Amino acid sequence: MRCRLDSLSLIVCLHLLSIDGDDDKGERSQIGDTMTVAAGVGYVLIALGPALSLFASVIAKKPFLILTLLSSTLFWLISLIILAGAWRAFLPVKSTELWPYSILILTSVGFQEGIRIGFWRLFKKMEDMLNAFADRVSKPRLFLTDKMQLALAGGLGHGLAHAVFFCLSLLTPAFGPATFYVDKCPSIPFFLISAIIALGFVIIHTFSMVIAFNGYTEGKRKDQIFVPFAHLIAALITLINLVPGGCNIGLPLLCIMAGTTLYYSWQLVWRRLTEHQTTRSSD
Amino acid sequence: MDDRSADSDPVTAGESSILDTLGEDVIRIVSPVSLCMVLVVLLVSSLSSTNDLSSSISSLFLSSTTTPTSFSSLNLLLLGSDSTWEEIKSALVTALSFVVVVTLLTFLLVLLFYFRCTNFLRIYMGISSLFVLSFLGGFISLLLISHLKIPIDPFTFAILLFNLSVVGVFAVFMPKFPISMNQGYLVAIGVLTAYWFTMLPEWTTWALLIAMSLYDLAAVLLPIGPLRLLVELAMSRNEEIPALVYEARPVDPQPGDRVRVWRERTDVRIEATENSTNSANVQTVQETRLAVSEEITAPLIEAFPQTGDRHLGTEEEEDGIGLGSSGAIKLGLGDFIFYSVLVGRAAMYDYMTVYACYLAIMAGLGVTLLLLAVYRKALPALPVSIMLGVVFYLLTRVLLEVFVVQCSSNLLMF
């Protein structure tokens, strides 16, 4: 079942696809049912696989990190709602030109990067409160690894929010029997593209939070500038998807961007930890 | 600099950081609430059809052989109209009548508690929970079986249902039951009741949620509010309130913590403790109402026996509201139910609203716990979360959905 592509008809179409799936479920065979649920679950795991493994290995062990994750997800959602409210009057954008969408992207990314600084201030306050609390219960103050874990949890919250709202919430028809292709990208199903983009952005959001917090704490301009740039470039790469056939270029570029962010964050954390180790052992 | 003062590496020093255990009690209340919501969303999305009228008709036909019809679906059939204004009017009437009945029954409960008819209340609650588990559980299982085409014969089904409901009544009723079964059955009762409530028509559900949160606010905070009277009675007598309350498994006390025991309106000194987060307590006595027929509503207040694993020691003054040496957060089952009703109703529209409402409810719960730590008295858990949930639902439906669909249908993401 193919659908035409503008926003409101897309909503109707997605609902129809899911209803179609439910009706057919009664007459179809068991194998057919499980195949489509498997496809849906597969898309979810593509988008959220690394996030889930990060969650299970690092965050689930410390309850405070789970709370940080939930609050940063909420934070990102609120920023998204504010953006949606600001842009509501101009939507739906009927034209297929590039410039309305690029303004959309620029304003959104700029707003979110601005919010990140606010998030960092909140983080500093929370760190102070935690240190004061640790003094009161006569426990050691926050270690460097603790702070990095907090940054990781915050970033993962942002990435999770992105994946949930941009990918998972539209994934309901994927659990039915049909699939969906976007006009501009006829070679890959829509769900797969959004899952891969969500994967890229999960990685970018998670690790750019680590880089950003380290950059603001240490005061290094290089790190501080890297994060907004990386975010902006990644978002602009998705603009390539507007061109017919562009997604074949856009997707690999986005994955390269995610890999770059990951590598940069790895180098930063490695350097920071070894520095900390040497200063401590030299005391 | 901050990180210079972070002296030793946890691995070499062998000490644990505060981050390891902080916030654990909050997580222990957040997990069952989330589990309840997830189960209700799964039930709703696998069992619901496209609109409310057909689902209430189908439940009507199905229920004509099993349970009595509900007031609202009968009302809807009688009115027969689909116009929005009619729906809103009937929704307001239903919600208002519900709140009035709940208020009257809560006052009746306070009266019975005042006259020390505790045994009567406990037995009545046991019967109510048996009713919920067997009838509602059976009804919903029948819906699931017919929808998923599970092959099962009536005798096995009857035996399983009987066993599970009886064990469930014991699990919430008897004091020495394992706490995980107690908690599991409380969550199950919450899921069943919440799913039942989502079968109401849409406007009625929203009106009911808002009305119940306003009622909760009034009943707990106003001096003449029935819940406040109940709480004060229980505190003055040092008895437990007979109510369905979920208590999180108590956290192990840290060495070096002093115990916090707080009570309101007496002159006992409140011992401050170092560990301010460990003893938050949400005492929200919530009753759930089950509309079983057009007229009769049965209060679903069950006795909550909780003496088992709290070492009281010298704190005999510890009552149903105060805390034992292991501070545990208590949340009434009605809160579980209404949170899940909100999320289930959001699931009937789209999954985006589900996620937004889930985050809003968690935020509301966090705010309530913070307020609890500040004010240190029994607080209503419904109003903040429900109001935030409704606001986020509206914002998502009106603003966010168009924006996100516009962006992702063009494969533009940021």
| ipTM of the modeled complex | 0.85
Residues of chain B contacting A82 with CB distance shorter than 8 Å:
none
How many angstroms away from the CA of B58 is the closest CA of chain A? 16
Using CA atoms, how far apart are residues B76 and B203, in angstroms rounded to an integer? 12
Mean pLDDT of A27-53: 77
Residues of chain A contacting B16 with CB distance shorter than 8 Å:
139
pLDDT in tens, B336-378: 999 999 999 999 988 899 999 999 999 999 999 888 888 888 8
Give the highest mean pLDDT range of A107-111, B174-178, B267-271, B313-317: A107-111
**Mean per-residue pLDDT over chain B, rounded:** 73
Q: Which of B8, B392, B410 sits opposite A242 (nearest CB)?
A: B410
User: Is B413 within 8 Å of A235 when comparing Cβ atoms?
Assistant: yes
pLDDT in tens, B51-89: 344 444 455 444 444 444 454 455 555 555 557 888 889
Using CA atoms, how far apart are residues B351 and B405, in angstroms rounded to an integer? 13
Instruction: Look at residue A114 and tell me whether its pLDDT is greater than 50.
Output: yes
User: Is A130 within 8 Å of B22 when comparing Cβ atoms?
Assistant: yes
The predicted structure's pLDDT at residue A187: 86
What's the Cα-to-Cα distance from A29 to each of A25, B134, B149, B374, rounded to whole Å? Answer: 8, 32, 12, 57
Place of tokens 């919440």: B194
How many angstroms away from the CA of B203 is the closest CA of chain A? 21
pLDDT in tens, B210-223: 999 999 999 888 88
Mean pLDDT of B91-97: 92
In a 3-state reduction of DSSP, which class is residue B297? strand
CB pairs under 8 A between A and B: 201
Q: Which of A7, A67, A144 sits opposite B409 (nearest CB)?
A: A7
Using CA atoms, how far apart are residues B226 and B220, in angstroms rounded to an integer? 7
* Percent of residues in chain A assigned helix, strand, coil, to nearest 5: 80, 0, 15
Give the residue among B225, A225, B405 at the shortest CA–CA distance from B413.
B405
Going by pLDDT thresholds of 50, 70 and 90, the confidence category of residue B116 is: confident
Residues of chain B contacting A247 with CB distance shorter than 8 Å:
411
Which is more confidently placed, B20 or A215? A215
The predicted structure's pLDDT at residue B97: 94
The predicted structure's pLDDT at residue B163: 95
Per cent of chain A over pLDDT 70 is 86
The predicted structure's pLDDT at residue B273: 30
Residues of chain A contacting B20 with CB distance shorter than 8 Å:
61-62
The predicted structure's pLDDT at residue B327: 55
Going by pLDDT thresholds of 50, 70 and 90, the confidence category of residue B254 is: very low
The predicted structure's pLDDT at residue B133: 92
Going by pLDDT thresholds of 50, 70 and 90, the confidence category of residue A246 is: confident
Name the pTM for this structure.
0.79
Which is more confidently placed, B233 or B390? B390
> H or E element: which one contains A261?
helix A247-282
The predicted structure's pLDDT at residue A232: 92
Instruction: Look at residue A270 and tell me whether its pLDDT is greater than 60.
Output: yes
**Mean per-residue pLDDT over chain A, rounded:** 84
Using CA atoms, how far apart are residues A246 and A98, in angstroms rounded to an integer? 13
Interface of A with B in 82-121 (CB under 8 A): 83-85, 87-88, 91-93, 101, 104-105, 108-109, 112
Q: Which of B276, B350, B412 sits opposite A101 (nearest CB)?
A: B412
Interface of A with B in 43-62 (CB under 8 A): 61-62
Mean pLDDT of A75-101: 84
